[in-house]
Amino acid sequence: MARQKIESDIVLIGAGIMSATLGLLLKELNPKLKIEIFERLDIAAAESSDAWNNAGTGHAAFCELNYTPELEDGTIETKKAVKISEAFEVSRQLWTYLVEKGLLQDPENFIKSVPHMSFVWGDENVEYLKKRFEALQQFHLFKAMEFSDDIEKIRKWAPLVMENRNSKDKIAATSMKFGTDVNFGTLTRSMFKYLESLDGVTMHFHHDVYDLKKRDDGRWRIKVKDIATGEKKKVYTPFVFIGAGGGSLLLLEKANIPEGDGFGGFPVSGQWLKCTNLEVIKKHGAKVYGKASVGAPPMSVPHIDTRMIDGEKALLFGPYAGFSTKFLKNGSYFDLIKSIELNNIKPMLSAGAKNIPLTKYLIEQVIQSSDDRLKALQEYVPSAKKEDWVLENAGQRVQVIKKDKDGHGILEFGTEVVTAHDGSLAVLLGASPGASTAVQIMIDLIAKCFPEEIKSATWQTKLKEIIPSYGQSLNENPVLCDQIRLKTNEVLKLKV
């Protein structure tokens, strides 16, 4: 039987928030584009974008302390927090555009107002949080943040966190009422539903991309297998985006581009404690983040977290980190071994040697007992009872390992976009804070991969319609920032 051949302008591999965002932006910029989307599973957003597998904070850097480290000289580094906060505002603008145009329905199904809090105890941590608050106050994006070390004030913000807490403990918290909870699984599936309704867009579920190669004519030939029928297809396209979560690294290696040399991956799994007691769930209404343990990856920053999942209020604590050789929740235990190649073995080994605290931390997490997990929970919820909480598996993340200038490995905890020199291929690697900053990441990608088109008057006009702040810094334009926040709050039905 002859293999089916498909010609396409754009191929997106992986049906997560990144592919949904890129496909939607490109289709809005050029409605004539033919787009093929391939997903190994039978549903969109079942891996990193799923509500149970994703932090869901609508990462705006309001509460995540790992984005504002204290430097050796005692100052607080704010650059990353400001960048992430700006990027989340860009995401909100895209979602507002989609709702206003009627392309996304019922925003309350994917985004809700939930305050973001940071909570610490102990003299040193309280001092750090106060310095962090003061450092962030110089930026307009964070002006609405409140700081308190008053027990009664914090009790009003987070009664469950304060219930049965020792009144002698020195504590402090910050709160941003402007925070949100985002169900990226629901959002992603809604975006794909709209995309699928457009001419020239085809989604292929249960399809495994097992090879890709650059041809002499500059196009990519992609080999795909229909998992259900065994039928194989060849797809030809001038542009490929690989947004397959943990599966992206293995496909980058198959693409064999020089820009991908030396990249490796370190998989980290996660688990939540999920509350089953409705009375306890009702008592909490915030995302409360603490300080990470030494060596912990960003996805393991502890938080007691109010979520809206499938229309129901949920309460989670964690995540507890673990180690698995899988690169995806639904992946293979051979993923890590298959990812090791001659060009990345040195960076991977040297990154491992440099990150002994991480290895130690993961071992400790893996061997934790249920009593150990309860003890960690009780630091945030002193009144927690074991019978009210069950263990739930969370997502799988692959932290990026890349070469430094000496050929040694660096373990990166952010996201990384690897782009072919001619812009014909882009691959997204890494984990936090991906989903929340997806729109900015994809706009930057479009600028790299479609440099001439993005300069055109048509694309510039459309981008400014979709993202009113496009080309401007919201942090440096307080009036514009306030106007856009007011508009996005109204359209997305956020109550602040």
Min mean pLDDT across 45-59, 186-200, 313-327, 433-447 is at 45-59
Q: Confidence band (pLDDT; 50, 70, 90) for 260?
A: confident
Q: Which pLDDT score is estimated for 56? A: 57
pLDDT in tens, 199-232: 999 999 999 999 999 999 999 999 999 999 999 9
> What residues have CB less than 8 Å from 149, skipping those under 6 apart?
126, 130, 170, 171, 172, 173
- Tokens found for residue 39: 């997903």
**Mean pLDDT over residues 15-36, rounded?**
96
Query: Own/partner pairs for 471-476, CB < 8 Å, 24+ apart?
Result: 473/86, 474/86, 474/89, 474/140, 474/141, 475/82, 475/85, 475/86, 475/139, 475/140, 475/141, 476/140
Rounded CA-CA distance 129/36 in Å is 47
Contact present, 172 and 149 (Cβ < 8 Å):
yes
Residue 419 identity (one-letter amino acid): T
Burial 180-210 (b: 16+ CB within 10 A, else e): bbbbbbbbbbbbbebbeeeeebebbbebbbe
Contact present, 325 and 335 (Cβ < 8 Å):
yes
**Mean pLDDT over residues 471-487, rounded?**
95
Rounded CA-CA distance 147/176 in Å is 9
Asked if residue 263 has pLDDT above 90, the reply is no
Q: Which SS3 state, helix, strand or coil, does residue 380 take?
A: helix
Asked if residue 323 has pLDDT above 80, the reply is no
Q: Which SS3 state, helix, strand or coil, does residue 275 take?
A: strand
pLDDT in tens, 99-115: 999 999 999 999 999 99
Burial 211-231 (b: 16+ CB within 10 A, else e): ebebeeeebbebbbbeeeeee
pLDDT in tens, 233-251: 999 999 999 988 777 878 8
Q: Which pLDDT score is estimated for 210? A: 93
Global confidence as pTM: 0.88
Q: Which SS3 state, helix, strand or coil, does residue 157 take?
A: helix
Q: Which SS3 state, helix, strand or coil, does residue 196 take?
A: helix
Q: Which pLDDT score is estimated for 121? A: 93
CA 88 to chain centre: 11
pLDDT in tens, 451-461: 999 999 999 99
Measure Cα distances from 168 to 121, 150, 151, 178 in Å: 11, 12, 10, 30
Q: Confidence band (pLDDT; 50, 70, 90) for 416?
A: confident
Q: Which pLDDT score is estimated for 354? A: 59
Rounded CA-CA distance 319/266 in Å is 17
Measure Cα distances from 157 to 102, 144, 285, 381, 472 in Å: 35, 15, 8, 14, 34
Burial 59-80 (b: 16+ CB within 10 A, else e): bbbbbbbbbbebeeeeebebeb
Rounded CA-CA distance 54/36 in Å is 25
Q: Which SS3 state, helix, strand or coil, does residue 389 take?
A: strand
**Mean pLDDT over residues 383-396, rounded?**
86
The beta strands (E) that lie in 80-206 are given as 111-113, 116-121, 146-148, 171-176, 180-182, 201-204
> What residues have CB less than 8 Å from 412, skipping those under 6 apart?
399, 400, 401, 402, 430
Rounded CA-CA distance 192/17 in Å is 9
Helix (H) or strand (E) holding 184: helix 184-196
Q: Which pLDDT score is estimated for 329? A: 58
Q: Confidence band (pLDDT; 50, 70, 90) for 45?
A: confident
Establish whether the linkage from the previous residue to 451 is cis, with ω within 30° of 0. no
Asked if residue 54 has pLDDT above 80, the reply is no
According to the per-residue pLDDT averaged within each range, which of 279-288, 311-320, 400-409 is highest? 279-288
The beta strands (E) that lie in 206-311 are given as 207-214, 220-226, 232-237, 240-242, 264-275, 287-289, 303-309
Rounded CA-CA distance 32/96 in Å is 23
Q: Which SS3 state, helix, strand or coil, does residue 102 take?
A: coil
**Mean pLDDT over residues 466-476, rounded?**
95
Min mean pLDDT across 2-6, 61-65, 359-363 is at 359-363
Rounded CA-CA distance 342/447 in Å is 32
Ranges of H-type helices in 205-355: 248-255, 278-283, 335-339, 345-354
Asked if residue 379 has pLDDT above 80, the reply is yes
Rounded to the nearest 5°, which phi and psi values hold at 132?
A: -65, -45
Asked if residue 68 has pLDDT above 90, the reply is yes
Rounded CA-CA distance 141/137 in Å is 9
- Tokens found for residue 16: 């997560």
Rounded to the nearest 5°, which phi and psi values hold at 156?
A: -65, -40
**Residue appearing with tokens 């090791």:** 340
